[in-house]
Amino acid sequence: MNPTPPQDEQVPGDQPTPEDQQVPEDPEALEDQEGREPADEEDGAGPESLVIQAREALGAEDIEGAVELLRSAADGFLAEEDPEEAVRCLRMAVTLRRSLGDLAGAERLAADAVAVAPPSTPAAILAQAELQRTRSVTFLVVGKPLDAVEAIRLGTAAFREVGDEAAALRYLVESITLVQGAGFAEEADLLTAEAGPAAESMRDHASLGDLALIAASRAVDAGDLDAARLHAKHAREEALAGRTGPQYVAAAVAECRLAEAAGDLTEAYASLAVAWVTLGDLVGEESAQAAVEPLLLEARQRWGAEVFDEAKASYEERRRAEGPPKGRARGEAGL
């Protein structure tokens, strides 16, 4: 199938700015340990080596094994009087333990991280935030959303106490996503009332985009597809302004699905086709294709080849009628 050159959206700035995730949830952060000098131990089981083994275990989908290796690595770092790295290992172990559904075990690890973190350090702040996040998840699971809100506020306060308002906001918005996903809309609204004004005053595009996606989800729950589409459009605009590729894709997918639900397959196709081109400016052409092409293929499978091709042709006709894009000419993108 020959691709189509959609009109791309104007991308501000010259280079993408990666998001600084203050509370990383990604176990691949294990890879950052590769830059450290390994401990000079004859048995080769220094803490740095254990972290590498944990990453290998994770790659083999042995999450339990990775957790135990990280615990051992934390003990090793403490023996080397490096509590910051010990906290880092324990926090990663907390994330993995939560992924296994062992919330009690995750909370014990998080409490250990708080106990060994040097007071008034970034490690201590992150450890406290991780502990409160784990507690909030536990409260959500057992149906105590107000207790979860209180834990989230304590985690947010850990950042605010040291004046890191940006990290506090990101932590709060991420937590709202968890509360909303657990089905506690009223409690999500309580936190959104705190996060929204802060995001606006800071012009935090990532947070504004996430809040817009949350609002889109709420509108869908209320049966208001028109409002949901407006919120998704806003999320896409904020992601573009903030140059956040993953969030841009999430917003484009939301727009596609909402247009599809409204029966507007031409617009659904356009959401992904334009995203392919615009994402190329954010993350590069190869990464853009890897992110969006599977989404177009999924749409083709859902709609059927004939209907998909009709939507594509309708989009092409509309684009030709609109004339050439105002911005620079771009290569082709879209199935």
Q: Give every CB contact of residue 38 below 8 A, 6+ residues apart in sequence.
A: 46, 48, 49
For the chain, what is the total number of helices (H) and then of strands (E)?
Answer: 14, 0
Torsion, CA 9, CA 14, CA 15, CA 20, rounded to 10: -80
Question: At residue 333, what are phi and psi to the nearest 5 degrees?
Answer: -155, 150
**How would DSSP label each residue in 9-72?**
PP--SSS------SS---GGGGGGGGGSPPP--TTS--HHHHHHHHHHHHHTT-HHHHHHHHHH
Beta carbons of 332 and 19 less than 8 angstroms apart: no
Q: Nearest CA to 126 among 19, 262, 25?
A: 25
With H, G, I as helix, E, B as strand and everything else as coil, classify residue 95.
Answer: helix
The pLDDT value given to residue 9: 54
Taking the CA atoms of the chain, what radius of gyration do you get in angstroms?
23
The pLDDT value given to residue 42: 42
pTM for this one? 0.78
The half-sphere exposure of 207 on its side-chain side, counting CA atoms within 13 A, is: 27
Beta carbons of 159 and 171 less than 8 angstroms apart: yes
The pLDDT value given to residue 323: 72
Average pLDDT, the chain: 87
Tell me the CA distances in angstroms from 240 to 10, 57, 125, 149, 243, one per residue in order. Answer: 8, 36, 30, 30, 5
Residue 20 reports pLDDT greater than 60: no
Beta carbons of 270 and 4 less than 8 angstroms apart: no
Choose between 196 and 9: higher pLDDT. 196
Residues 32 and 52: their CA atoms lie apart, in Å, by 10
Confidence tier at 225 by pLDDT (50, 70, 90) = very high
Choose between 316 and 42: higher pLDDT. 316
Model confidence over 292-327: pLDDT tens digits?
A: 999 999 999 999 999 999 999 999 999 898 876 544
Tell me the CA distances in angstroms from 99 to 77, 125, 134, 278, one per residue in order. Answer: 24, 22, 11, 33
The three-point CA angle 315-301-308 to 5° equals 20
Residue 82 reports pLDDT greater than 90: yes
Six-digit token string for 170: 């990101």
